[in-house]
Chain A
Amino acid sequence: MTTLLKIDGLSKTFGGLAAVRDLSFELKEGEIVGLIGPNGAGKSTAFNMISGSLTPTAGKITFAGEDITGRKPSHVVKHGLARTFQSATVYLKSTVQENIYRGALCHFDIPVWAQLAQTSAYKAARQKIRHEVDKVLEITGLAPYRHEIAGELAYGHQKRIGVAIGLATNPRLLLLDEPAAGLNPEECAEFGRLLKTLRDEHRISLLFVEHHMALVMGTCEKIIVLVQGQKIAQGTAEEIRNSPAVIEAYLGADEDAHA
């Protein structure tokens, strides 16, 4: 498998505070990788740097062979690296299918004059987008809600719409910021299944930041643990569970061991 995302020596300081220090890891095509750590560990900062919302102080981000360090999110997403937001972030006043349609506009590059003139190239491109929207509605199970106003749906559905907007941009790698936050156990399990489907059937690699341990341990092939801005461990769920450094970070040092 080829390397899709390569993070090299990534750092971010806010004033005197080092939020992320010298973070390096790789994500291979088709992998599901989880980024975990206690509150304030720098997970979201790392996440925002990768997706382009924050400019790193130092380091390099390579995606699909291209240096995307410091590029704007709208540029990064066109290369196939999409993200979702921590809270349910949708276009509240639009219908579900319009939400997804707006995501699908990512690769729509017909000039305005051609759109106004309704050229045949424009009509073909518009038809293609409609098909993509239908496809994403099917994958995410949102098809029954397509005409509902997004803001009037339950929180779990709104989170799903967030993922659907990301999917509509046709990504190779999807970054998910705490996808399980605020979901009930049932919705959470359903979400886990959706993530597996995305990878297995639609060949989309995933990187997600998460607090929900069951979801992370059950879904991710590789887990990276951040504590105080630094990577302290990396490995499979089993390796992470037995890593002394992780146990120390989460549960505190075992005093007897040092005695």
Chain B
Amino acid sequence: MNVSTMTENHNKGARTRAFDQAPGNAWKAWIPALLVLFAIPLLLAGNPFYIHLAVLICLNIIFVNGLALINRTGQLSFCHAAFMGMGAYAAVICTVRFQTPFLISVSAGVAVSMLAAYLLGAVILRLQGVYFVLVTFCFGELFRLVMLEGGDITGGANGIANIPPARLFGFTFDSKLSFYVLAAACAFLSIVFLIALFKTPKGNSLDAVGDNPDLAEASGISIQGSQTFAFVLGSAFAGFSGALLAHYLGFVSPESFNQHISVAAIIMLVIGGRGSVLGPILGALIMTPLPELFRSAIETQNIMYGITLILVLKFLPMGLVGIGAKLRGKKGQP
């Protein structure tokens, strides 16, 4: 995979219109469209497999949203799954060992991911491009090995099983359908949060750092500050999705959060489209069902991923979101 192309072109075409647009206009189109999208699986409620896929798509949307946020400031994290794992393990250990309520466990998971991202970011965010990618790759592997050697605390290679289902305000999310409602609500909120964030000056300054770090730094927007903010917040998204996933599946193991998951997140982001809020949604929507549908072809699956990624980078550097922009661009030029 051509990593340097990805980090250099991170958000080509991210034409943010935060300043031009009167605030509040795009909302009217976005919110109903999203609500319709999230309501579709409810029509398929009879088939548990579809609901299962829908839950995974929602969790992946949250997960990839976090990665997209980090990527908007020009960094590509290869250890996104490690932060997902941290959130999952921390939440599960709270739930199973200390019997804390679901809400507290999830908060603890998110807090652990954020703290780890802050500490790691303080050290490695001065690295740029491929060097940052390499160090995050190593960190992801380190996390997996630590979980593997974690003894009684992490359950080693066996992981932790029999995690009780999520419980909120006296309601237990023990069926696939009920958990879908929870996951969809969380995914929806994460999308709305990102739309809102990238409308604010803070979001605009994050984009500025991604577009041209030297210029941003010279005009008063700290590169380190912006990237730390995005890395911590993006990792919080990962930790949150991990905590939800663990309580949904009822099981965690080090292999649930290995490098393949980090790579899968990057593939979803690239195929969906970087630099747009729609990208992670499209990426998760298309790439999540594929491995489930082609379980029999598990060996060739990674080859297919690689080929798809190369083709997308070559012909659609903006991802699927770029198709719409391309069509609009062609229409605009007579």
Give B216's nearest chain A residue, CB to CB: A102
- What 1/0 flags go to A80-112 for Cβ under 8 Å of B? 001101000111111101100111011110101
**A105 contacts B201, C-beta separation under 8 Å:** yes
Binds A, one of B15-23, B59-67, B73-81: B15-23
Known: A89-B214, A93-B15, A98-B16. Contact between A106 and B200, CB under 8 A?
A: no
A83 to B223, CA, bound (A): 16
Contacts of A169 in B (CB 8 A): 219-220
Known: A91-B215, A93-B13, A102-B208. Contact between A72 and B201, CB under 8 A?
A: no
The interface of chain A, by Cβ under 8 A from chain B, is 51, 53, 72-75, 77-78, 82-83, 85, 89-95, 97-98, 101-103, 105-108, 110, 112, 115-116, 118, 126, 129, 133, 147, 149, 165-166, 168-169
**B19 contacts A105, C-beta separation under 8 Å:** no
**A74 contacts B217, C-beta separation under 8 Å:** yes
Contacts of B212 in A (CB 8 A): 89-92
Least Cβ distance of A167 to chain B in Å? 10
Asked whether B205 is an interface residue with its Cβ less than 8 Å from the other chain, the reply is yes
**A72 contacts B20, C-beta separation under 8 Å:** no
A77 to B211, CA, bound (A): 19
**A129 contacts B15, C-beta separation under 8 Å:** no
Contacts of A102 in B (CB 8 A): 204-205, 208, 216, 219, 221
A74 to B15, CA, bound (A): 24
**B12 contacts A165, C-beta separation under 8 Å:** no
A165 to B225, CA, bound (A): 20
**B215 contacts A149, C-beta separation under 8 Å:** no
Known: A83-B218, A89-B214. Contact between A97 and B223, CB under 8 A?
A: no
Contacts of B7 in A (CB 8 A): none
Least Cβ distance of A175 to chain B in Å? 9
What are 27 sample pairs from A and B whose C-beta atoms fall under 8 A apart?
Answer: A53-B218, A74-B220, A74-B222, A74-B223, A74-B225, A82-B218, A85-B215, A85-B218, A89-B214, A90-B212, A92-B212, A93-B12, A93-B15, A93-B211, A95-B20, A97-B19, A98-B20, A105-B205, A105-B219, A105-B220, A110-B201, A115-B201, A126-B201, A147-B20, A165-B219, A168-B219, A169-B220
Contacts of B225 in A (CB 8 A): 74
Count of B interface residues, CB-CB < 8 Å: 32
Give B12's nearest chain A residue, CB to CB: A93
A219 to B201, CA, bound (A): 36
A129 to B13, CA, bound (A): 25
- Among B14, B19, B208, B217, point to the contact of A73 (Cβ < 8 A): B217
Give A111's nearest chain B residue, CB to CB: B202
Least Cβ distance of A248 to chain B in Å? 36
Interface majority SS (helix, strand, loop, mixed), chain A: helix
**A165 contacts B215, C-beta separation under 8 Å:** yes
- What 1/0 flags go to B191-232 for Cβ under 8 Å of A? 001001100111011001001101111111111010001000
**B14 contacts A166, C-beta separation under 8 Å:** no
Least Cβ distance of B155 to chain A in Å? 37
**B20 contacts A77, C-beta separation under 8 Å:** no
Least Cβ distance of B196 to chain A in Å? 6
Contacts of B218 in A (CB 8 A): 51, 53, 73-74, 77, 82-83, 85, 166
**B220 contacts A91, C-beta separation under 8 Å:** no
A147 to B15, CA, bound (A): 12
A165 to B217, CA, bound (A): 12
A53 to B214, CA, bound (A): 9
Least Cβ distance of B294 to chain A in Å? 37
A208 to B45, CA, bound (A): 68
**B200 contacts A115, C-beta separation under 8 Å:** yes
Least Cβ distance of B62 to chain A in Å? 18
**A108 contacts B20, C-beta separation under 8 Å:** no
Least Cβ distance of B129 to chain A in Å? 18
Contacts of B197 in A (CB 8 A): 112, 116
Least Cβ distance of B168 to chain A in Å? 24
Give B205's nearest chain A residue, CB to CB: A105
A168 to B219, CA, bound (A): 8
A53 to B15, CA, bound (A): 28
- Among B12, B15, B208, B220, point to the contact of A149 (Cβ < 8 A): B15
**A78 contacts B211, C-beta separation under 8 Å:** no
Give B197's nearest chain A residue, CB to CB: A116
**A116 contacts B200, C-beta separation under 8 Å:** yes
A72 to B224, CA, bound (A): 10
Contacts of B216 in A (CB 8 A): 74, 102
Least Cβ distance of A60 to chain B in Å? 21
**B15 contacts A94, C-beta separation under 8 Å:** yes
A199 to B102, CA, bound (A): 62
Contacts of A166 in B (CB 8 A): 218-219
Other 7 A-B pairs with CB < 8 A, given A93-B14, A116-B197, A169-B220: A74-B220, A77-B220, A83-B218, A89-B212, A94-B211, A115-B201, A116-B200
Least Cβ distance of A71 to chain B in Å? 11
Known: A89-B214, A93-B12. Contact between A105 and B222, CB under 8 A?
A: no
**B220 contacts A106, C-beta separation under 8 Å:** yes
- Among A72, A94, A115, A126, point to the contact of B217 (Cβ < 8 A): A72
